[in-house]
Amino acid sequence: MQNAIYLASNSPRRRELLRQIGVRFDVLLFRGGARADHDVDETPHPDEAPEAYVQRVALAKAEGGMQRVLWRHLPQRPVLAADTTLEVDGQIIGKPNSAEHASEILRALSGRAHLVHTAIALTDAQRTEHCLNTNRVRFRTLSETDIRRYIATGEPMDKAGAYGIQGRAAMFVEHIEGSYTGIMGLPLFDTAALLERFGLAP
């Protein structure tokens, strides 16, 4: 049976979440590091609001993914993309670039609430739609030992905000308001609704 969409994401968590609701997909990979694809620029613009940033990046990933479908002469199917960022005091918090950076982020999250924004975008080359999912997460106060032990697991290094709620950092979370799957990186309610608008209901 033919898969329904392409997922323009390297995230194993997003793959797991799509499988959870029965969506058939192929992964459309982007290059990272020194050979990164320059048409998907994840650098925040000056004074860019976190909500605007995350939606811009998700749209760029979806549209860039569709360009790759066309360039590579792949079977044409809709492309789904997502992006997640944290907001603390109006500032964009992305993935840490070092263990020390991860420590700084976790100290900033300790004992207070932050926002997790996840934007999703879907394009079929004729039209593109997107939506934004915002959630509030409150952490308990973290000790330096908590932070050091968590960073030693390696878990924070590929995650926005230096933590994954579905992993060991769950023990830091006192309270959430919103979508658990949105905090993970793919809000399933919104994703299913977006797919349905394209005639792709799971």
The three-class DSSP label of residue 176 is strand
Residue 83 annotated in active site: yes
Do β-strands 5-7 and 25-27 pair in parallel, antiparallel, or remain unpaired?
parallel
Closest CA to 193 of 134, 135, 130: 130
Among 26, 39, 47, 83, which one carries the catalytic annotation? 83
CA distance 68 to 79: 10
23, HSE (Cβ side, Cα atoms, 13 Å): 28
CA distance 77 to 74: 9
Active-site residues, by number, are 83
